[in-house]
Amino acid sequence: MRPNQQLKNCQCKLLFYFCKMLEEKNKDRTPISELGEFGLIDHLTKNFKIKQESTIKGIGDDAAVLNFKDSEVLVSTDLLVEGVHFDLSYMPLKHLGYKAVIVNLSDIYAMNAIATQITVSIAVSNRFPLEALEELYSGIETAARIYNIDVVGGDTTSSITGLIISITVMGRANKKNIVYREGAKANDLLVVTGDLGAAYLGLQVLEREKQVFQVNPNNQPDLDAYSYLLERQLKPEARLDIVKLFKDLKLKPSSMIDISDGLSSEIMHLCKHSKLGCDLYENKIPLDPQVISTCEEFEIDSTTVALNGGEDYELLFTISQDDYPKIKANPNLTVIGYMREENAGMHLVTRADSKIPLQAQGWNALNDQK
């Protein structure tokens, strides 16, 4: 019964704030079973246009057919599970579809590559009306349009309980441009895009408002003070702009990763793969003013949030110090530390100038249900 309940919750005032588009549709409820499996896929994907030259044949046969010519092909996949990765009581379906695509694209951009195609598989309870799936696919279509991605395949099936979204993304890059997690050198600069911790705090705000709503459904939350945090949680973007910037600057990072699990965990991945240590400077970590003020309100340490919060989908990369002039004037990029020899260890240099070992406490999906 949960999904129905969740769609009903969607009319609550908290969600009224986010998902007006769903409300209008709630009047119409078409059972999925009316269309059948093939009719459903056709219906949901009929607006999807093929834009990429590398897509020879999209949806409609046993497999899609692509051709990447001389390019290397990048492939990554992510699975999003209701109740683990998202909560439909405050995540509008359109935003969820959008975010599910973004999460995948981010992995391709983290290789300094261009994402080109996705396949989308959905398992959904029959109790979701067609209109709910249309919202989800509308978000997927929006992300595909903005990031210039073709949706070339997928599977739609039923689930016993919640909603599950599995997306596989493909991309392309010239061999010489691909950036791996390995490849950083000692003394390289450690650089991060954007700012950190906001998506995690957005989730904390939503969880708090959900609890308030459960106690008092008439409460009308004022969420203006958290608008940036909520946007980062509910409608994150992937850093295609940075991949384009690298091209324009003729800059190739020596290593790169995207920040999905938290800065600390991702830095440790770069260090481990490149067989290096690092010094990360606490006072350099970029934080939005809303992150600072909300951390004060919630009485949590903003550095801890930035290090371990996750879901930022920013890029973390290393560059040779020789390349510093290329990035120093860019407000999107912040140098947060240096790579060190492996035996120097991985450290956070605190504001008080003491060194403490970095620890990865990143969001661990498999511990969530402990």
- Owner of token pair 């997928």: 154
For residue 305, give the 3-state DSSP assignment: helix
CB-nearer residue toward a copy of itself: 12 or 169: 169
Distance between CA atoms of 30 and 26, rounded to whole angstroms? 10
Distances (CA, A) of 158 to 28, 164, 179, 362: 21, 10, 38, 32
The residues near 321 (Cβ < 8 Å, ≥ 6 apart) are 187, 188, 189
Q: Given its phi and psi angles, is residue 154 left (phi above 0), alpha (psi -120 to 50 degrees) or beta?
A: left
CB-nearer residue toward a copy of itself: 97 or 229: 97
Smallest separation (angstroms) from a copy of itself to the CB of 174 = 11
CB-nearer residue toward a copy of itself: 85 or 340: 85
CB-nearer residue toward a copy of itself: 94 or 181: 181
Smallest separation (angstroms) from a copy of itself to the CB of 111 = 5
Distance between CA atoms of 19 and 3, rounded to whole angstroms? 16
Q: Given its phi and psi angles, is residue 353 left (phi above 0), alpha (psi -120 to 50 degrees) or beta?
A: left
Smallest separation (angstroms) from a copy of itself to the CB of 118 = 10
Smallest separation (angstroms) from a copy of itself to the CB of 141 = 18
Smallest separation (angstroms) from a copy of itself to the CB of 225 = 32
CB-nearer residue toward a copy of itself: 113 or 280: 113
